Amino acid sequence: MTHPAARPFAAHEWMIAWRYARSRRAEGGVSVMTWISVIGIMLAVAALIITLAVRSGFRADFVDTILGANAHVTVYNAPVFAEVGPPDRVISNYEEMAARILSLEGVTRAAPLVRGQVMANFGDRNAGAEVYGITADDLAGIPRIVQPEAFVGSLEDFLAGVAIGSGIARELGLSIGDRIKLISPNGVRTAFGTSPRVKSYTVTYIFTAGRYDIDRTRIYMPFEEAQLYFNRDGVADEIEVMVDRPEEVETLNAALIRAGGDRAVIWTWQDAASSFLRALTVEDNVMFIILSVLVLLAAMNIVSGIIMLVKNKGGDIGILRTIGMSEGAVMRIFFLCGAGIGLVGTALGVILGVAFVVWIQEIFSVVNYFSGGGVWDPSIRGLYELPAELRAWDVFRSIALSLFLSFTVTIFPARAAARLNPVEALRYE
């Protein structure tokens, strides 16, 4: 009499698979190999999630600070070369140009700027700095300056002095009310040449924008005062433009050039950061591939464990085949053993990886404490702390990769178990 075939993954197949997976070595199981496989996959998945979160955090933090404290687009004039003297690239009609640019759809701010490099001095300390001459209203439209990570003083007093980054303040030992001396090599023109310009300003506002290079070098000065200081009477150096969709700024390029005039040249934040963004993209892809190999190596432990399990359970396989269990049923039993290991390891890896990312700053503080400090140098990395951003897509693809590899590698030893000859399996029992 022929019995109807049992449905795939029936209850008895789950029961046998569960018993085999948790059986001890004395019972013919491989519990040690099972735990090694689970731990290996857990660590590999956790490493993948942590790495992807840190890479996403780097990108998000970098873009946020760039967009929050820098122009989305800079519009300036192409240089005009004269027979004598340096090339002329200043903007004389900056108010009209800024008004035309601001009228474009998608542009939220167009601010004329005067820029120049100076030597900042206080007492016996010196530091290089870059001065941005800007109106108080336009300065109030820069998110990372108006709402910085930390600040001292008030922007309402901006016209009475200068606003400086916390890095400059720390290096020179400045505080609110102190007078910072700015020295520019392009100063007063005399019959004997150009003499350096030296002038002191009261520090009215100290900000921490969140990027070391900005906080360490940037000084904001009232626009009219910057015109006088840098010999830019009635002109500006560039127009700083902010848009409502920075990620799509290239769609405004043609309109910005038309609004800027015949000599207009534009430089977007993507142009300025393109090499870094490309490097991040390449590094993301490479790290994902490398860690995928790590997950694969961890999954290969499942193969070793299932092969040992098949060898130890050869007699059981022979008996199951003799009483009428099909090859497919035997294959599914051992597939469930391997897939269960992969599933448990992946679940534990997700928990470990997510927990690590959530408490990464606390963990890093502990590591920094026991290592004696200096593990994270903001002057090298440009950020004050290790950024991490947990994204659902990164967690999902980590889970999908781990389960795919775990399930795939399990098929081969499970298939070998199904093809085991019951006579050979029972010969030495």
Residue for token pair 């464990």: 305
- Model confidence at 7, pLDDT cuts 50, 70, 90, reads low
Find the range with the poorest average confidence among 162-166, 271-275, 371-375.
371-375
Find the range with the poorest average confidence among 70-79, 110-119, 189-198, 341-350.
189-198
Output the pTM of the full model: 0.67
- Any idea where the domains of the chain sit in the sequence? 11-64+276-427, 79-262
pLDDT over 80 (residue 417): no
pLDDT over 70 (residue 6): no
- Model confidence at 150, pLDDT cuts 50, 70, 90, reads confident
Quick one: CA dihedral 305, 307, 308, 309, positive or negative? positive
pLDDT of 319:
67
Compute the average pLDDT of residues 179-200. Answer: 78
pLDDT in tens, 202-217: 999 999 987 788 899 9
Reading the block at residue 368, the tokens are 């920094």
- The 3-state secondary structure of the chain reads CCCCCCCCCCHHHHHHHHHHHHCCHHHCCCHHHHHHHHHHHHHHHHHHHHHHHHHHHHHHHHHHHHHHHCCCEEEEECCECCCCCCCECCECCHHHHHHHHHCCCCEEEEEEEEEEEEEEEECCEEEEEEEEEECHHHHCCCHHHHCCCEEEECHHHHHHCEEEEHHHHHHHCCCCCCEEEEEEEEEEEECCEEEEEEEEEEEEEEEECCEHHHHHHEEEEEHHHHHHHCCCCCCECEEEEEECCHHHHHHHHHHHHHHHCCCEEEEEHHHHHHHHHHHHHHHHHHHHHHHHHHHHHHHHHHHHHHHHHHHHCHHHHHHHHHCCCCHHHHHHHHHHHHHHHHHHHHHHHHHHHHHHHHCHHHHHHHHHHHCCCCCCCHHHHCECCCCCCCCHHHHHHHHHHHHHHHHHHHHHHHHHHHCCCHHHHHHCC
C-beta of residue 208 within 8 angstroms of C-beta of residue 150? yes
HSE of 222, CA atoms in CB hemisphere, 13 A: 14
pLDDT in tens, 25-42: 544 445 677 788 888 899
Cα distance between residue 131 and residue 111, in whole Å: 15
pLDDT of 296:
86
- Model confidence at 111, pLDDT cuts 50, 70, 90, reads very high
Mean pLDDT of the chain, nearest integer: 82
Cα distance between residue 231 and residue 412, in whole Å: 78
pLDDT in tens, 276-323: 778 878 888 888 888 888 888 888 887 777 777 666 666 666 666 666
**Within its chain, how far is the Cα of 422 from the centroid?**
56
Find the range with the poorest average confidence among 85-99, 166-180, 221-235.
85-99
C-beta of residue 272 within 8 angstroms of C-beta of residue 285? no
Compute the average pLDDT of residues 243-271. Answer: 89
| Rg from Cα positions in the chain | 33
Find the range with the poorest average confidence among 54-58, 137-141, 214-218.
54-58
pLDDT over 80 (residue 367): no
- Model confidence at 246, pLDDT cuts 50, 70, 90, reads confident
